[in-house]
Amino acid sequence: MLAGAGAGVPVEVAASYRARTRGLLGRDGIAGALLLTPASGVHTFGMRFAIDVAYLDREFRVLAVRTMRPGRLGRPRLRARHVLEAEAGAMARWGVRPGVRVEVRAPAS
């Protein structure tokens, strides 16, 4: 779950090389978000939909948020240690913006 600046949002974590490489490729959308860790940049080659990308530092504070159309290469952020991806428009709805610290936690059982 992604918490902070709003209600909890389901998050998939891509921590292995294989999972980070695959990312959102081949999908038509995502319910929630995908956390790539460690990561400092992304691309949208082969993507089917536009995404919001939030670059996070090691404390999960948002450094920048960008919307990327398919077929783009995002420039890496030097201080970024994690990247959060979601469908375009989601970050604004969730209140994810520079300076906000997001919290990633296991869902309550």
Please give the pLDDT value at position 8: 78
Please give the pLDDT value at position 26: 87
Q: How confident is the model at residue 99 (pLDDT cuts 50, 70, 90)?
A: very high
Q: φ, ψ for residue 95 (rounded to 5)?
A: 80, 20
CATH architecture type of domain 2-104: Sandwich (2.60)
Give 63: exposed, middle or buried? Use CB within 10 Å, 0-12, 13-18, 19+: middle
Output the six-digit token pair for 65: 């948020």
Please give the pLDDT value at position 47: 94
Please give the pLDDT value at position 2: 66
Dihedral sign for Cα 39, 96, 43, 34, please. Answer: positive
Percent of the chain with pLDDT over 70: 90
Give 73: exposed, middle or buried? Use CB within 10 Å, 0-12, 13-18, 19+: exposed
